[in-house]
Amino acid sequence: MSASTHQSGGAKAVFRSHEFILFVVLVAEWIFFYFAGTSKNYSGATVGFGTLDAQFDIMRHSCEIGLLALVMTPVILTGGIDLSVGSVLGFSAIVFGKLWRDGHLPIDIAMLGALATGALAGGLNASLITWLRLPPLIVTLGTYSLFRGLAEAVAHDGDTFTNFPASFINLGNERWLGVPEQLPILAVVAIAVWLLVHRTTFGRSFRAIGFAPEGARYAGLPVERRLALAYVLAGTVAALAGIIYTARLGQAKADDGTGYELFAITAVVLGGTSIFGGTGSVHGTLLGVAAVAVLTDGLSLAHWPREAGGVLTGLLLILTLTASVLPKMLSNRRSHRQTGPSTPQPSPPSP
């Protein structure tokens, strides 16, 4: 994968970079759906993909996944993964609802409570991963079940929380200065995560840990603390996503966010971040989220069945992965003819 923000090449490197190709794909998708999904209704007004409302809704729909994908990026950069973010979303949403309805706390305090829950959940992941040096895949597989189960237990008997005040519901559905209210939040988180990953030493250390955890340790990096930061951040932002999701739907249920972790991983990988860690970018992730969101909603606006979105997203992922590897394979072939036995695939770290 040639995606890297430390390329020494110039413009040429940009155009070959994974993010740029993804950007082109995104633009192509957008143009396609503009023509396939826009039409005029009987009174001559434009409807469909080409309307501002539709574009805003695409952003509204992808806000929660976008938050999860953004915060999954540093985690994956460290060579880890967090399968529990969807469950943390649901669990925090339930805690939020419970604190507000049964705890009679004001909405703001309930939100803080939910964020704290997310942070604690992330902390549980972090402690198991750093203190016991357990593989993140398995730890978060366990917490994926655990948090979902806790959500169901707190909301036992299928309880759901609803009838939130209108001002809260607006967070998910209304406009502020012309744009959907959750967008500024997404933008702030996106900028913050981007800065964290690309402009701070924390970000550098994430990559270093992803490349070589032992090497990073020998180099004096506080590996455990950095990993903890990544996972606690993931949990907290997942809780934020849970709050926004609850506002958008106007209801908190125990099964909120089921399957979202996989969407988030898809977006991150599409965006060029290597699942093995070490390379990747936040803007790539944003492009990945946009690519999937435009695809899914574009098909829906063009009245294609929902299954088409799933199939095409899967195919897009396969094509992207294959395409990212081909240049290296081709150049390997070339050097193979010159030098001898092909270089073996490196032993991949734990998935």
Partner 1 sequence: MKRILALLLATGLVLSGCGKSDTSSTASTPAAAPTTAAPSAGARKLVIGLLPKAKGNGYFVSCAKGAQEAADALGDTLIFDGPTNDDAGKQNEIVDNWINSGVDVIAVSAENKDGLSTALRQAEAKGIKVISFDADVQPDARTFFVNQATPQGIGYKLMDEAARLCGNSGEFAIITATLTADNQNEWKKYIDEDLAKNYPNMKLVDFRPCDDDTAKAQAVATTLMSAHPDLKLIMAISSKAVPGAAEAVKQAGKIGQVHVIGLGLPSENKDYVHAGVTDSVILWKTEELGALTVQVADALAKGTLKPGDKSFTVGDKTYTIDGDNVLLGEPFVFNKDNIDQFNF
Partner 2 sequence: MKRHFREWSVAGALGVMLIALAIFAPRFYEGQPMLSRLTDTAPTLVIACGMALVIISRQIDISVGSQFAICGACGGMLLAHGWPAAAVIPVSIALGALFGAFNGALIAGLGLPSIVVTLATMVTWREALRWRTQGELINIGPAQWFGLSQKVGQWTIIGTALVILAAIAWAMKRLAAGRFVYAVGADAEAARLAGIRPRLVTFLTFVFLGALTGLAAMMFSVQSLQVDPNAGNGLELRVIAAVVVGGVSISGGRGNLWGVLAGLLLLACISPALTYLGVEAYWEKAIQGAIILLAVVADGLRNRKAQR
48 binds partner 1 (CB under 8 A): yes
Q: Which does 214 bind (CB under 5 to 8 A by kind): partner 1, partner 2, none?
A: none
45 binds partner 2 (CB under 8 A): no
> Could you tell me which residues come within 8 angstroms of residue 69 by beta carbon, excluding any fewer than 6 positions away?
263, 264, 265, 267, 268, 271, 285, 286, 288, 289
75 binds partner 1 (CB under 8 A): no
Alpha helices (runs of H) in 102-135, residue ranges in sequence order: 107-131
Q: How far is the CB of 313 from partner 2 (least distance, A)?
A: 6
The stretch among 103-111, 138-146, 228-236, 243-251 that binds partner 1 (CB under 8 A) is 243-251
CA 156 to centroid of chain Cα atoms: 29
Q: Is 40 in a helix, a strand, or coil?
A: strand
The CA-atom distances, in angstroms, between 317 and each of 28, 148, 265 are 16, 27, 11
The stretch among 7-15, 35-43, 131-139, 282-290 that binds partner 2 (CB under 8 A) is 131-139
On whether the CB atoms of residues 22 and 2 are closer than 8 A, the answer is: no
Q: Are strands 175-176 and 161-162 parallel, antiparallel or unpaired?
A: unpaired
On whether the CB atoms of residues 244 and 63 are closer than 8 A, the answer is: yes
On whether the CB atoms of residues 72 and 268 are closer than 8 A, the answer is: yes
2 binds partner 1 (CB under 8 A): no
Q: Which does 163 bind (CB under 5 to 8 A by kind): partner 1, partner 2, none?
A: partner 1
334 binds partner 2 (CB under 8 A): no
42 binds partner 1 (CB under 8 A): yes
276 binds partner 2 (CB under 8 A): yes
Please report how many Cα atoms fall inside a 13 Å half-sphere around the Cα of residue 163, on the Cβ side.
Answer: 5
Exactly one of 2, 32, 36, 47 binds partner 1 (CB under 8 A); that residue is 47
336 binds partner 2 (CB under 8 A): no
For residue 66, which of 286, 305, 349 has the smallest C-alpha distance?
286
Determine if residue 158 is left, alpha or beta; phi over 0 gives left, psi from -120 to 50 gives alpha, anything else beta.
Answer: left
318 binds partner 2 (CB under 8 A): yes
Exactly one of 138, 141, 146, 249 binds partner 1 (CB under 8 A); that residue is 249
Q: How far is the CB of 117 from partner 2 (least distance, A)?
A: 15
Residues 157-176 that bind partner 1 (CB under 8 A): 157-158, 160, 162-163, 169, 172-175
Name the residue nearer to partner 2 (CB basis): 13 or 311.
311
Residues 298-317 that bind partner 2 (CB under 8 A): 305, 307-311, 313-315, 317
Residues 260-279 that bind partner 1 (CB under 8 A): 260
Instruction: Give the span between the Cα atoms of 105 and 77, in whole angstroms.
Output: 38
